[in-house]
Amino acid sequence: MQSPSVPARLRRSRHLSWFAHMGAVYLFHDLYGYLMEMSPDIADMIEAFGGGVDTEETIAYYAGKFGKPVGHSLFQTGRLEPQLRGY
């Protein structure tokens, strides 16, 4: 069981834009200004979070697949975005 600070569901941020150039896939985070080049399989994985996914199931599914986990603002818990709407 996750700690109370971990949300029950994860969802992809609504503030993403996708670009393709010369076979590469790029993601731009519209609020934070991150620009990232990534492989198409990682882009597909990020898009899979669009409708929201169960946190426990997702952690179990991806356990060990990407090395050491890191937090990232591509996935929002809903707590931060309402504060940013005024910007």
What pLDDT digit, counting tens, does each position of 17-59 carry?
999 988 889 999 999 999 999 888 888 888 888 889 998 888 8
**Nearest residue to 46 via CA among 58, 32, 57:** 58
Q: How much is the pLDDT for 68?
A: 62
| Higher pLDDT pick, 5 / 9 | 9
pTM score of the predicted model:
0.60
In a domain, 43, yes or no: yes
Pairing verdict, β 75-76 and 9-12: antiparallel
**Is residue 49 domain-resident?**
yes
Does residue 4 form part of some domain? Answer: no
CA distances from 42 to 13, 36, 37 (A): 15, 11, 10
Residue 77 to residue 52: CA distance in whole angstroms:
10
5 within some domain = no
d(CA 56, CA 43): 21
60 in any annotated domain: yes
